[in-house]
């Protein structure tokens, strides 16, 4: 029998780690998991379906060997806007020069290049900005024609083939899912991933399209990386299952001084709704080539934890960097250290959401207060679809949260959620169960993980009758004997 205490994370915030060329073998993926990864990200902007299928197989193999559920996030590329090709592969644009973007597929030069996205030309107005190559070059639209834009170079530099284009001042009439995305999305869902990362969302309708395709097979995690998405934050949060603060593209399209404030705004609103939020991009960027992070990067991770984010994410650090295991290890250490500090506890208490006027919220709010009063080491939440566990997480209790569910799919999704230690059960959450039965199983689960001792009291939250979604109405305190 596996020692379950060996894989119990001593922290609440979760770690998402991207797999890639530096982390494709079973040995490395298992090392990353043991170092602290809770959810692995498959980036469909790179690699083949065969690459992702093999990584998926390895993760599920490790899951079986360790007995701990692991979440898998498929990050869909979305509509990437790019310029065409140049005759010499690149040009140098000078400040003040006039540069034309048009639909002509001919090779470009220092005066013009193809922009194979008619939607940009149709949406542009004089004064609109175009940011090229992650914002390194900047153009301002001066004139708009039927099939071209005449722009002035405001920040020049070298522009080469297929560099990306960002349009922060335009809402483009394009769907969030391209033809490639539809293929990738269906492949990922058939594979059995737990989360779909939806890129370049502008409107809630973009999320609803992906949810209709998913049809409940995976949670949709909306990547907040465009100003238009921030403008529609409330309506997007209503329909999505979770969000990611994707600070890379967000930082290109917004002034850098705005990004930290937007991060706080997204985290607070997502927390108020009990929806998981991931903070991503450049968290430990220097560890792509260095075995240790900068002090600023360590502070960045700590800030996300202090703000109450459900998870922090590694991208190139674990996918293509020289020190993937070290990056996960130091992120794990930062989170653990922050959460042991008294100021973290005070912040979690100060930012706790007020319960809504319903029985389920009243039950989990009461559970949190009982845990605090009794110094209970754990609260056990029985959940059918994950709703009770999400509610319990939203309370940010200082006690460990164990979620027991009959569904391995639900358990894997809860691997992303703050404070949740997801476990599967074949015995509880079915109509024939008694209250005594689930209380006994709750005691057994916490004892198996070696977090309780004789005389400790734990709190149990569930819904009666068992096996019905949305029926959280029971709370019980029990003593370990």
For residues 243-264, average pLDDT: 92
**Catalytic pick among 14, 129, 223, 226:** 223
pLDDT at 356 (0 to 100): 87
Of the candidates 18, 281, 388, 446, the residue annotated as catalytic is: 281
Rounded CA gap, 293 and 283, in Å? Answer: 9
Instruction: Check pLDDT > 50 for residue 247.
Output: yes
Structure tokens at 22: 């530096």
pLDDT for residue 5: 57
Q: Each residue of 418-429: b (16+ CB within 10 Å) or e?
A: bbbbbbbbeebb
User: pLDDT value at position 444?
Assistant: 93
Instruction: Name the pLDDT band for 208 (thresholds 50, 70, 90).
Output: very high
Catalytic residue among 26, 30, 80, 82: 82
Round the average pLDDT of the chain to a whole number and report it. Answer: 93
Q: Which of the four pLDDT bands, split at 50, 70 and 90, describes residue 1?
A: very low
User: Nearest-CA neighbor of 66 among 119, 1, 18, 20?
Assistant: 1
- Asked whether residue 151 carries a pLDDT value surpassing 60, the answer given is yes
Annotation says 281 is catalytic? yes
- Over residues 32-66, the pLDDT tens digits come to 999 999 999 999 999 999 999 999 999 999 999 99
Buried-exposed string 5-44: b where 16+ CB fall within 10 A, e elsewhere: eeeebebbbbbbbbbbebbeeeebbbbbbebbbbbbbbbb
Q: Is the dihedral of CA 402, 408, 411, 412 positive or negative?
A: positive
pLDDT, position 477? 96
Taking the C-alpha atoms of 291, 292, 294 and 297 in order, what is their torsion angle to the nearest 10 degrees? 100
Write down the architecture of domain 4-78+176-339 according to CATH.
Answer: Alpha-Beta Barrel (3.20)
The stretches of 259-356 forming alpha helices (DSSP H) are: 259-273, 295-306, 316-319, 324-339, 342-350
CA distance 459 to 446: 11
- To the query of whether residue 82 is one of the catalytic residues in this protein, the response is yes
Mean pLDDT, to the nearest integer, of 441-450?
Answer: 92
Which pLDDT belongs to residue 265? 97
Confidence check: pLDDT of 376 > 60? yes
pTM: 0.92
Q: What is the pLDDT of residues 74-128, one digit of tens each?
A: 999 998 899 999 999 999 999 999 999 999 999 999 999 999 999 999 999 999 9
Looking at residue 42, its pLDDT comes to 98
- Cα three-residue angle 73-420-357, rounded to 5 degrees: 105
d(CA 54, CA 59): 9
How far apart (Å, rounded) are the C-alpha atoms in residues 334 and 274? Answer: 24
- Any idea where the domains of the chain sit in the sequence? 4-78+176-339, 90-166, 352-479
How many Cα atoms are found within 13 Å in the side-chain-facing hemisphere of 379?
34
- Give the pLDDT of residue 426: 74
pLDDT confidence of residue 470: 63
Catalytic residue among 4, 11, 14, 41: 41
Q: What gap in Å lies between CA 287 and CA 455, rounded to an integer?
A: 45
Which CATH code for domain 90-166? 2.40.33.10
Q: Check pLDDT > 50 for residue 305.
A: yes
Span 256-273, pLDDT tens digits: 899 999 999 999 999 999
How far apart CA 66 and CA 62 sit, in angstroms, is 6
* Residue 397, pLDDT score: 95
Cα–Cα distance, 124 to 115 (Å, whole number): 13
Percent of residues, the chain, with pLDDT higher than 90: 85
On the question of pLDDT at 332 being above 70, the answer is yes
Residue 451 has pLDDT above 80, yes or no: yes
Residue 41 among the catalytic residues: yes
Domain 352-479 sits in CATH 3.40.1380.20? yes
Q: What is the mean pLDDT of residues 202-231?
A: 95
Q: Flag whether pLDDT at 243 surpasses 90.
A: yes
pLDDT at 248: 86
Residue 232, classed as helix, strand or coil, is: coil
> Would you state the pLDDT for residue 465?
74
For residue range 169-189, what is the model confidence (pLDDT) as tens digits? 888 888 889 999 999 999 999
In tens, the pLDDT along 380-395 reads 999 989 999 999 999 9
C-alpha closest to that of 23 among 436, 366, 325, 351: 325
Pairwise CA distance, residues 421 & 227, whole Å: 34
Two tokens at 4?
A: 């379950």
Pair 226, 244: CB distance under 8 Å: no
How confident is residue 432, by pLDDT bands cut at 50, 70 and 90? low
Q: State the average pLDDT over residues 133-140.
A: 93
Active site residue 268: no
């Amino acid at each position: 029998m596996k020692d379950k205490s060996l894989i119990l994370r001593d922290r609440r915030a979760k770690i998402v780690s991207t797999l890639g060329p530096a982390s494709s073998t079973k040995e490395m993926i298992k090392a990353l998991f043991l170092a602290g990864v809770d959810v692995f990200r498959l980036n469909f902007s790179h690699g083949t379906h065969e690459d992702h299928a093999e990584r998926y197989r390895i993760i599920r193999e490790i899951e079986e060997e360790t007995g701990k559920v692991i979440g898998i996030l498929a990050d869909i590329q979305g509509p990437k806007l790019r310029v065409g090709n140049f005759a010499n592969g690149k040009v140098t644009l000078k400040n003040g020069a006039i540069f034309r973007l048009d639909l002509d597929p001919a090779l470009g030069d220092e005066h013009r290049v193809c922009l194979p996205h008619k939607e940009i030309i149709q949406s542009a107005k004089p004064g609109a900005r175009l940011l090229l190559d992650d914002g390194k070059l900047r153009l301002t639209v001066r004139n708009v024609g039927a099939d071209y834009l005449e722009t002035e170079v405001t920040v020049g530099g070298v522009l080469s083939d297929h560099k990306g284009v960002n349009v922060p001042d335009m809402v483009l009439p394009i769907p969030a899912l391209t033809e490639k995305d539809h293929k990738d999305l269906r492949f990922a869902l058939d594979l059995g991933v737990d989360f779909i990362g939806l890129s370049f969302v502008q409107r809630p309708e973009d999320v609803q399209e992906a949810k209709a395709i998913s049809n409940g097979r995976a949670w949709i995690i909306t990547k907040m990386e465009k100003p238009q998405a921030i403008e529609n934050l409330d309506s997007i949060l209503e329909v999505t299952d979770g969000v990611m603060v994707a600070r890379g593209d967000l930082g290109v399209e917004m002034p850098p001084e705005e990004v930290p404030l937007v991060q706080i705004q997204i985290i607070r609103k997502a927390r108020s709704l009990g929806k998981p939020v991931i903070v991503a991009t450049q968290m430990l960027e220097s560890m792509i080539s260095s075995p240790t992070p900068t002090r600023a990067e360590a502070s960045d991770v700590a800030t996300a934890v202090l703000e109450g984010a459900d998870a922090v994410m590694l991208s190139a650090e674990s996918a293509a960097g020289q020190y993937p295991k070290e990056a996960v290890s130091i992120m794990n250490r930062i989170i653990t250290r922050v959460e042991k500090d008294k100021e973290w506890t005070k912040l979690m208490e100060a930012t706790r959401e007020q319960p809504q006027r319903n029985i389920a919220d009243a039950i989990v709010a009461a559970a949190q207060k009982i845990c605090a009063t009794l110094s209970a080491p754990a609260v056990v939440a029985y959940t059918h679809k994950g709703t009770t566990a999400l509610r319990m997480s939203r309370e940010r209790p200082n006690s460990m949260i164990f979620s027991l569910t009959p569904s391995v799919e639900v358990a894997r999704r809860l691997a992303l959620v703050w404070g949740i230690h997801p476990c599967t059960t074949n015995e509880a959450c079915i109509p024939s169960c008694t209250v005594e039965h689930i209380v006994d199983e709750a005691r057994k689960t916490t004892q198996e993980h070696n977090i309780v001792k004789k005389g400790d009291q734990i709190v149990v939250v569930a819904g009666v009758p068992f096996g019905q979604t949305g029926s959280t109405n029971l709370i019980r305190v029990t003593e370990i004997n």
